[in-house]
Amino acid sequence: MMATMPAAPLPLGYNTYCLRSLRWPDARHLGFAAEQKLDAIFLQDSLDPRAADPAHWKEVGETAERLGLHLETGGSGLLPRTAEGLDTSIATLRRNIERAAAMGSRYVRGLLASNRASLPTTVEQSVEWALKILRSVRQDLSGRGMKVIIEVHKDLQAWELRQVIEAAGTDVTGVYLDTGNPVFVLEHPMTTFETLWPYVQSVHLRDSAIYMHPKGVAVQWVPLGEGIFDFKTFVAAVAEKCPNVHVYNKPITGRPPEVIPYLDPNHWKSYPGARAAELARFLDWARTGRPYEGHVVIEDLANRQTPPQFLEAVQFQQRDHVLRGLDYAKKELGLGRRWRAA
């Protein structure tokens, strides 16, 4: 059945991390979003030289308002490496809440860990630490009408993240849904959405090339619309279930394929509660994929900085992939409002 496009287009923005190699200050990102006639901007991992200055936070919020841009922002990892670091993590989250509030963002982005292997302890203990951190800032959030939105990352499967959100309190906690991360925990992004949609506050679109490999499944992030995911069906579902969210283009490309060795029994030691039906759905989908055939400059080299000789090509590629993704989001997915009036 053909997906039904939303009657009222969902507002469109872009995630600033996608242009990280350009090292733009925050004002340049805001200007770029306005130039592209976008509705929103997600300011992630700011590289602005004044990023830690509270006066700058207020300026960013005022600029976004003047340009008519909805702004969302936040921090990064919530979990410390050891239990002794919990107080520091709480203090960092409190500062991120202050920063977001000063910029006019209702949400504070966070994530648990970069991937499953990076969780500081067992999954169960990591969840307990996350709950302690989130419960410690409840007053800071509720007093401002804000939420911490936890990014769907490479750490938890959707059913596990749902338990965290519900235990922390859905009045102050929500979901930042990134469609490119579930594949790293062998989960179809539609499974992720179907599990978490009641709590989704922000949606970030990232496409993947996925295909079978002798050791398991290979995954590579690619420009929006050039991978395996059916974004038309996904966007229609988001419009139906989450009509108030803003949707962000978030291509993070230039990384080599990564093999997820699900055929190795050791891979499953950290997934004691994995659900067979969800894995089967993912594998059925992966079998329809193939390697990416487009041209790409590999920028993320293991344990190495991007060579200076590559930098100009990487900068061109990141900007090109953002623009290609925005064009696809507007023309093929029917996203965005402001550009239609141009």
Q: Dihedrals φ, ψ of 217, to 5°?
A: -130, 140
Above 60 in pLDDT, residue 4? no
Which residues have CB under 8 Å from 224's CB, separation 6+? 205, 206, 207, 231, 249, 251, 321, 324, 325, 328, 329
Please tell me the predicted confidence (pLDDT) of residue 2. Answer: 43
Above 60 in pLDDT, residue 5? no
CATH architecture of 12-341: Alpha-Beta Barrel (3.20)
Mean of pLDDT values over 104-109: 98
Please tell me the predicted confidence (pLDDT) of residue 306. Answer: 78
DSSP 23: -
Please tell me the predicted confidence (pLDDT) of residue 196. Answer: 98
Tokens of 184: 């790293």
**pLDDT > 90 fraction of the chain, expressed in percent and rounded:** 93
DSSP three-state, residue 285: helix
Q: What is the rounded CA–CA span in Å between residue 320 and residue 323?
A: 5
Q: What is the rounded CA–CA span in Å between residue 156 and residue 133?
A: 17
Mean of pLDDT values over 122-139: 97
**240 vs 301, higher pLDDT:** 240
Please tell me the predicted confidence (pLDDT) of residue 3. Answer: 45
The structural domains of the chain, with segments of one domain joined by +, span 12-341
Q: How confident is the model at residue 302 (pLDDT cuts 50, 70, 90)?
A: low
> How does 96-131 read in b/e, with b if 16+ C-beta sit within 10 Å?
bbebbbbbbbbbbbbbbbeebeebbeebeebbebbb
Strand spans (E) along the chain: 12-15, 40-43, 70-77, 107-111, 147-151, 173-178, 200-205, 207-213, 216-222, 246-249, 258-260
Encode pLDDT of 218-267 as tens digits: 999 999 999 999 999 999 999 999 999 999 999 999 999 999 999 999 99
Encode pLDDT of 261-297 as tens digits: 999 999 999 999 999 999 999 999 999 999 999 999 9
Round the average pLDDT of the chain to a whole number and report it. Answer: 95
Q: How confident is the model at residue 6 (pLDDT cuts 50, 70, 90)?
A: very low
> Which residues partner with 126 through β-bridges?
none
Q: What is the rounded CA–CA span in Å between residue 9 and residue 161?
A: 28
**116 vs 309, higher pLDDT:** 116
Encode pLDDT of 134-159 as tens digits: 999 999 999 999 999 999 999 999 99
Encode pLDDT of 39-68 as tens digits: 999 999 999 999 999 999 999 999 999 999
Please tell me the predicted confidence (pLDDT) of residue 1. Answer: 40
Above 70 in pLDDT, residue 7? no
**309 vs 80, higher pLDDT:** 80
Angle at 246 between CA 245 and CA 252, to 5 degrees: 125
